[in-house]
Chain A
Amino acid sequence: MKYLIVMVAVVVLAGCGSVRKVETGTNKVGERFSMQLEGPWNHVDFPGIKPGQLWTMEGITVDELIIYAGIKDGQVMHPDNAAQTKKQNVVFRRDMPTEKIVSMFESVMTRDDSVFKLLRIEPSSFAGRKGFLFEFERIRRNDNLRQLGFGYGAVDDGELFALVYVAPALTFFPRHQARVEAIAHSALISPPVGAAAPVAILPPPVRVSIGMPGQRLPAVSTAARAVAIPEPK
C-alpha cells in the first residue's frame, strides 16, 4: 500500500513540475535575452512561476535565480488565484519608474507574508542598457529563514528584463553570489526583430558586494555545483 501511495505521489508530482539541466555556455531565455554560464544550473518549471524562469544550484527550497525575459506592458507577475481571493495582482507597466518596478518585486517576494527589507537600490547598467540594481534581506515566512538577495533589471522597448537571486544568508548566498553576478554581467538584450541595434552598449556594472562583513567572495568556478539530476530523455 505504501509503495502504491509513493508511486501515485511521484506520478502526480511529475505532472506538476519538471527539472532540466541548463548547460554551460551561452543560453537564450525568451526571444531577446541571453547570458553566459560558467557552469551548469538546474531549470525548474512548475505552475505559478511564469512569467519568470526559475534556475537553482542547490534546489528550490534553498536558492532561486528568477529570470524575467521580456515582461510586456500589462502582464501579471506570478498571477495569484485572484478569482478566489479577490487579491489585486501585481502588473508590470512599461512606463513604471525604477522604484515602482522594485516595489513590484517586493510585493512578489512578500506574497507569503515574508518580511522584506530593501538594503540598496541604485542605477546600474544591465544587459547593455541603463537599468538598476537592488539588494535586499528577506525572512522567509514558512521556515523563518534569513535570506539575502539582489536583482538587476532594465526596461527595453517597453519590456522588462531582470534577474533576481535569493539564497540563505549563511553559506549559500556567499557561495553563489559571484557566480550570479557573473551571469548578470554577461546578460545581453538583443534588439526587437526589425529594430536597429542600440547606439551604445553600456559596460557591465562594477559594484561593492553585499556579502557578509569581512567576508571574501568565492572565485567563480567553472566547476559549478549542480544538483545531480538525471539527464532529460
Chain B
Amino acid sequence: MKRRQWLHMGCAVCASLAAGGLLAQGDLDYAPPERLARPDAASDEGGLWAMMDREEKNLRRSGLLLRDEQLNRYIQSLACSLAGEHCGDIRVYLVRTPQFNASMAPNGSMQIWSGLLLRVANEAQLAAVIGHEVGHYLQRHSLARLRDIRDKAALGQVLGLFGIAGLVGQVALNATAFAYQRDHEREADRIGAVLMHRAGYSVEESAKVWDGMLQEMRARDGDGATVSPLFATHPPTPERRDSLSAIAALLPGGSAGTESYLTRVSPFLDDWCEDEVKRHQFSESVALFSRLMVASPVAGLMQCYRAEAYRLRGADGDDERALSDYRLATRDGAPLAKAYRGIGLIERQRHRNSEAAQAFRRYLELSPGAPDAGLIRSYLESA
C-alpha cells in the first residue's frame, strides 16, 4: 500500500472517530443562537457588516445574478427551512459562475454559484451546502476569523524582530490561522448536517456532494494534492466526505428530494452545462457529466454535454466517444439540437459529408436562429 493511501486511511479513521466522539459530547444536539441583532456600527463587527452591506448592494446590480423569480423563491425557501427563526435575516443570491462554491457574509447575505447548483443532484445535497453556510452565519465565524487574524498579525510583527527564528514562528503562526479556519469548516459541516436532518433531509446525501467533488479533483490532478494541508482553508475533501458519512450513520432517515429539485432547475441546466464546458477543463467536465448522467431524468442532456467535452478535448479516441454519446443522447429522436450539431461537426472532419449534412440539416431545423447558423450553412453548402 502506498504512503498516500495509508494517510488517506488514517484521515478517514480519524474523521470517523471525531464524528463518533461528537455525539458523545452532545454536539449533534445543536441549539442555534437567538436572532443576531445588527452590531454597533463603531465595533469591529459593525465595520465588517458595513463592508458586506456595500458588497451586497453591488451584487444586487450584478449582471451575473440569476434573477428567475421562481428559482430564487424555491432556494430561499429551502434556506428558510434550514435557518428556522433566522430565515428573515438570510438573503440568498444565485450567481452565474461555473464553479462549485457558496459563501456566507456575516450580515446574512449568501451567494450560491450556478456551478454548485449544477453539481448537486437533489434538494438534500443543496441543503447540506446551505446548512453549512447557515452554520457559519449562526456561529459568527467571519468575525472570529477577523479577530484571529488581527491578533496573529500583531504577534507576527513581534516575531519578525527575531530573525530566522522569528520567520519560522511567523510561518507557524500563519499555519495556525489556517487550522483555525479549517476547524470552523468542520463545525459548519456538523451544524449543516444537524440542520438538514431536522428539516427532514437525508444526511447521507451530504457525503455524496464531496464524493462527487473528489471524482472531479481526481480527473484533474490524479491522486496528487494541490494544496498544502498546513495552508488549506478547508479540510481535505476525503476527510469531509468521511466525517459526514459518519454523522449520517448517527442521524439516519430523511428524504433526498431529487425529483422536486430537478423539476425546478431543469430550465437552467442547458446554460449551466454550457458554462461548464467553456471552462475548458474537459477531464473534470467528463467526470462531472458522467456522474450526473447516472439514473437521472436529465441523462440525455448530460450525455450530450459529455460528448461536447470529449469533442472539444480531442484526445485519442475522443471523437468516437463523443459520437457515441451524441447518438445515445438523440436516440428516439430526442430534439437535442446541440447533439446533431456535434455529430455534423465530427462527421465533417472525417469527410463523411452525407452524414454531416444530414445532422446539420436536423440541427438547423431544430435551431434555425442559432448563433452559428451561418457557419453551419456554409459547411452544408460545401459538403
Contacts and interface: CB of A to CB of B under 8 A. Distances in A.
Contact of A85 (B64, B99, B226, B275): B226
B372 A123 contact: no
A107 B312 CA distance: 11
Given A86-B220, A144-B61, A121 B280 contact: no
Interface in B18-63: 58, 61-63
A205 B96 CA distance: 35
A85 B275 CA distance: 19
B64 A141 contact: yes
Interface in A98-126: 98-100, 103-104, 106-107, 110, 113, 115-116, 118-123
Interface string A45-62: 000000000000000000
Nearest to B284: A88
A188 to B, nearest CB: 23
Nearest to B226: A86
A100 B371 contact: no
A86 B63 contact: no
Given A103-B312, A139-B63, A132 B375 contact: yes
Interface in B301-340: 312, 314
Nearest to B341: A99
Interface in B216-241: 220-221, 224, 226
B283 interface: yes
Interface in A170-216: none
B378 interface: yes
B282 interface: yes
Interface string B272-300: 00010011111100000000000000000
Nearest to A136: B371
Nearest to B349: A97
**Which of A87, A98, A99 is packed against the most chain B CB atoms within 10 Å?**
A99
A86 B227 CA distance: 11
Contacts of B312: 100, 103
A146 B65 CA distance: 13
B61 A122 contact: no
Contact of A123 (B58, B62, B281, B374): B374
Contacts of A123: 374-375, 378
Nearest to B227: A84
Contact of A106 (B278, B314, B375): B278
A90 interface: yes
For chain A, the bracket of interface size reads: 20 to 34
Contacts of A144: 58, 61-64
Contact of A107 (B64, B280, B349): B280
Contacts of A90: 280
Nearest to B372: A121
A87 to B, nearest CB: 6
Contact of A113 (B97, B349, B375): B97
A139 B64 CA distance: 7
B108 interface: no
B19 to A, nearest CB: 30
A111 to B, nearest CB: 8
A15 to B, nearest CB: 25
**Which of A98, A113, A120 is packed against the most chain B CB atoms within 10 Å?**
A113
A148 to B, nearest CB: 13
B116 to A, nearest CB: 13
A5 to B, nearest CB: 17
Interface string B194-230: 0000000000000000000000000011001010000
A121 B226 contact: no
Nearest to A109: B278
A90 B279 CA distance: 10
A115 B345 contact: no
A120 B371 CA distance: 4
Given A103-B312, A107-B278, A115 B64 contact: yes
B131 interface: no
Nearest to A137: B63
Interface in B352-383: 371-372, 374-375, 378
A147 to B, nearest CB: 10
B178 to A, nearest CB: 17
B98 interface: yes
Contact of B221 (A86, A132, A146): A86
Given A86-B226, A87-B281, A99 B58 contact: no
B345 A97 contact: yes
A201 B279 CA distance: 36
**Which of A84, A144, A146 is packed against the most chain B CB atoms within 10 Å?**
A144
Contacts of B275: 110, 115
A121 B371 contact: yes
**Which of A85, A88, A97, A118 is packed against the most chain B CB atoms within 10 Å?**
A88
Interface string A142-160: 0010100000000000000
Contacts of B374: 120-123
24 contacts: A84-B226, A86-B221, A87-B220, A87-B281, A88-B280, A88-B281, A88-B282, A90-B280, A97-B345, A97-B349, A99-B375, A100-B314, A107-B278, A107-B279, A110-B279, A115-B63, A118-B371, A120-B371, A120-B372, A121-B374, A122-B372, A122-B375, A123-B378, A144-B64
